[in-house]
Amino acid sequence: MNDQQIDKMSGGCSALQALGHDYDHYDPEFALDPHAEFAALRAKCPVAHTDNYGGFYVVSKFDDVAEVLHDATTFSSWPADTPATPGHTRPLIPLEVDPPDHRRYRMIVDPLFRPKAIEHIAESVRQYAIELVDGMLESKEFDFMAEFAQPYPSAVFLRLVGLDFSVEQRDQLCEWAGTILHTTTQGAEHGDVEAQTAARLDAGKALHNFLRGLVDDRLETPGDDIISVLIKAEMPGQRKLDYREILNFAYVLVLAGLDTVTTAIGFSFMHLARRPDLQDQLAADPSLIPGTIEELLRFEPIVHASRTVTERKVISGVELQPGDRVVLPLASAHRDEDVFPDADQILIDRTSDKSMVFGAGSHRCLGSHLARLELTIAFEEIFRRIPRFSLPEDAKLTAHGGQTRSLAVLPFRTWRD
């Protein structure tokens, strides 16, 4: 469908018209700082169409994104990415499963991630954060993503899954996850769709085979880890999860656990490194940390969700038809000027009852409490021992796009001039 057809049939407009170029959430330059483009879309074309990646609509206003996320009947979660992750032909559990089945699956794992259920790991999480800060102090200047943001949450989550900690294992799993979510493999340059697709497919197969071995081991020797819980779980009607369901479930949990907190920590400390005033406030008063975390999550959300339209729906005057794809950049929704005063400012004392940084509706993030625990401990331990830090003057930042946006590198110094 070309731009004139879109205008005539739906009252919509194209991303190309609004931006002067097409919308591409896998573009590394866009991933690093998409906010000017999101502002243009909100102002000129709140529901914009692009032909990229098979064609989809970009929904950029907070209230419109909220409406989509809360309407699982009209907007299916299958598939959850645009373009769809290659190599799987059935919905990933519970990420791409719609109600009512979605709720049945979530009931199995929700109790494992409630605040009371995860508080027992706080001490071990803190100890690992302390060890990593030791390394930061010794290195003095380093890549923050490699030294802290990636190893910290991934090691925590792998232990929850029931894997003994190993640097080699952690790095391999993170590499597979990065390729699946961001196409980070060397040789799969942005724009080479064939190479990108092949890289994602190979990484997906490798992770699948690894998890198959893990599930087989837990079937023989169950423990008290998440995989073992899935094996022992019963769906309504006393039905056990079958092998494919367990494997599918584990795949999603590992991808989510290895990526989202890493990206949130990375962007948060990028912004803090540019704000000596905020560093001084947090170092002087750690009680400001929880509010600061919420504001930084609002300022730089990382999830770029997708939905499929199941029945005719009008959003902001644009008529969507069954089969249409929509993407929901939370980074745009949370800079919406109509919802957040001074939306482009970091205000650590901001009070707002509107937030979708962990999603909304039935698919709200399962691990939000764990993420907040990890973020809080990370902030506390870094500011306790590294109260002043900065980016090198010649720092070159790069990012990955995709289902989630992530910094690839973050040059970092444990001092500031």
DSSP annotation string for 200-252: HHHHHHHHHHHHHHHHHHHHHS--SSHHHHHHH-EETTTEEPPHHHHHHHHHH
Residue 175: what pLDDT? 86
Backbone angles phi, psi at 411, to 5 degrees: -55, 135
**Cβ proximity of 377 and 386 under 8 Å:** no
Partners of residue 329 on adjacent β-strands: 304
Alpha-carbon distance of 269 to 390, in angstroms, equals 9
CB count, 10 Å around CB of 10?
Answer: 19
Q: What is the mean pLDDT of each run of 10 residues along the chain (417 residues)?
A: 43 88 93 97 97 95 98 95 79 93 93 91 94 97 96 85 76 85 69 80 91 93 91 85 93 86 96 98 97 97 95 96 97 98 96 91 93 97 98 94 91 96
Number of Cβ within a 10 Å radius of residue 257? 24
**CA 377/CA 391 separation, integer angstroms:** 22
- Structural domain boundaries enclosing 340: 3-413
- What's the rounded Cα separation, in Å, for the pair 352 and 354? 5
Specify the pLDDT at position 165.
63
pLDDT at 5: 42
DSSP 94-156: TTTPPTTHHHHHHHHHGGGGSHHHHGGGHHHHHHHHHHHHHHHHHHSEEEHIIIIITHHHHHH
CA distance 125 to 160: 11
pTM: 0.92
Looking up residue 331, the CATH number of its domain turns out to be: 1.10.630.10
Q: Which one-letter amino acid corresponds to residue 388?
A: R
**Tokens standing for residue 168:** 């080699």
| Contact residues for 190 (Cβ-Cβ < 8 A; gap 6+) | 26, 27, 28, 183, 196
What pLDDT shows up at residue 1? 41
245: number of Cβ within 10 Å: 18
CA proximity to 371, closest of 306, 273, 301: 301
pLDDT value for 48: 97
Name, in order, each residue with C-beta under 8 angstroms of 320's C-beta and a sequence gap of 6 or more.
10, 57, 309, 312, 313, 314, 326
Q: How far apart are CA 14 and CA 16, in angstroms?
A: 5
Residue partners of 241: CB distance under 8 A and separation at least 6: 108, 230, 231, 233, 235, 249
Residue with tokens 């879309």: 41
- DSSP 8-state assignment for residue 404: B
The pLDDT, as a whole number, for residue 184 is 63
In whole angstroms, what is the distance from residue 186 CA to residue 195 CA?
10
Total of domains in the chain: 1
Q: Is the separation of the CB atoms in 96 and 78 below 8 Å?
A: yes
Computed over its alpha carbons, how large is the radius of gyration of the chain?
21
Mapped onto helix, strand or coil, the DSSP state of residue 355 is coil
Q: Which residues contact 108 (CB under 8 A, 6 or more apart)?
A: 229, 230, 233, 235, 241
User: β-strand 325-329 against 56-59: which pairing, if any?
Assistant: parallel
